[in-house]
């Protein structure tokens, strides 16, 4: 999950960096945001999200900390990741972090449930996942065109490395995120792309 100040500018920056354009996404009326998507093979996808200037302000804090994030002017920032599950209620009960409440969402013919904290903050400083359950036969990654991009590795840096690893283990997700000690929370993704190996942070 990457966030940008402006969706078009962020998508243009990513297209130049990755060597491939993102696919159109849509608008999330309930959150006042809009997005673009890029398939990453093996059921993964990259989502670029931004506050939608044409949307009415939502009656609650926006998801993914978008109301409070300080974003670079010149490029998107990698802020978070989301884990797909088959039973979101059961997985939420295992969480050791504040993943939030389960909200029902829709965009076009997509229907899904996702965990969102009431104040909109990023769970685990963005390093512990939000949970999502798709309530349609095909989720976005299955509909996106082949991009030539693939997620090779996702890693995190955090001063409370043990707490982070325990939170991942509780969900059985420890193999999906390499956790390292670091002075400040940071998420880094490594993508194989038509332009070679690209690092996004």
Could you write out the DSSP letters of every residue in 23-46? EEEEEETTTTEEEEEEE-STT-EE
User: 3-class DSSP state for residue 12?
Assistant: helix
Tell me the backbone φ, ψ of residue 109, rounded to 5 degrees. -100, 10
Residue with tokens 């491939």: 20
- 156 in Cβ contact with 187 (< 8 Å): yes
pLDDT of residue 78: 98
Domain assignment of residue 66, given as a range? 2-200
pLDDT of residue 42: 87
CA atoms within 13 A on the CB side of 200: 33
How many domains, in total, are found in the chain? 1
Q: pLDDT by residue for the chain (201 residues), tens digit each?
A: 999 999 999 999 999 999 999 999 999 999 999 999 999 988 899 999 999 999 999 999 999 999 999 999 889 999 999 999 999 999 999 998 889 999 999 888 889 999 999 999 999 999 999 999 999 988 888 889 999 999 999 999 999 999 999 999 999 999 999 999 999 999 999 999 999 999 999
pLDDT of residue 125: 93
Q: What is the strand order of the sheet 196-200 is part of?
A: 178-181, 150-158, 186-193, 196-200
pTM across the whole model: 0.95
Strand pairing report for 178-181 and 150-158 = parallel
- 170 in Cβ contact with 48 (< 8 Å): no
- How many residues are recorded in the chain? 201
Structure token digits, residue 43: 């059921």
pLDDT of residue 140: 83
pLDDT of residue 141: 84
């Amino acid at each position: 999950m990457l966030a940008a100040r402006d969706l078009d500018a962020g998508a243009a920056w990513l297209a130049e960096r990755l060597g491939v354009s993102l696919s159109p996404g849509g608008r999330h009326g309930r959150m006042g945001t809009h997005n673009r998507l890029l398939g990453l093979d093996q059921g993964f996808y990259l989502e670029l999200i931004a506050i939608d200037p044409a949307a009415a302000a939502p009656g609650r804090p926006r998801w993914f900390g978008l109301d409070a994030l300080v974003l670079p002017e010149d490029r998107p920032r990698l802020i978070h990741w989301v884990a797909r599950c088959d039973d979101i209620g059961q997985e939420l009960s295992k969480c050791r972090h504040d993943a939030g409440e389960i909200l029902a969402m829709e965009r076009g013919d997509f229907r899904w449930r996702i965990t969102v904290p009431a104040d909109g903050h990023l769970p685990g400083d963005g390093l512990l996942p939000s949970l999502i359950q798709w309530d349609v036969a095909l989720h976005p990654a299955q509909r996106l065109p082949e991009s030539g991009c693939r997620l090779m590795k996702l890693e995190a840096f955090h001063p409370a490395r043990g707490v982070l690893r325990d939170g991942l283990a509780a969900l059985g997700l420890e193999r999906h995120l390499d956790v390292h000690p670091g002075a400040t929370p940071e998420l880094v993704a490594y993508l194989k792309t038509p332009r070679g190996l690209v690092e996004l942070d």
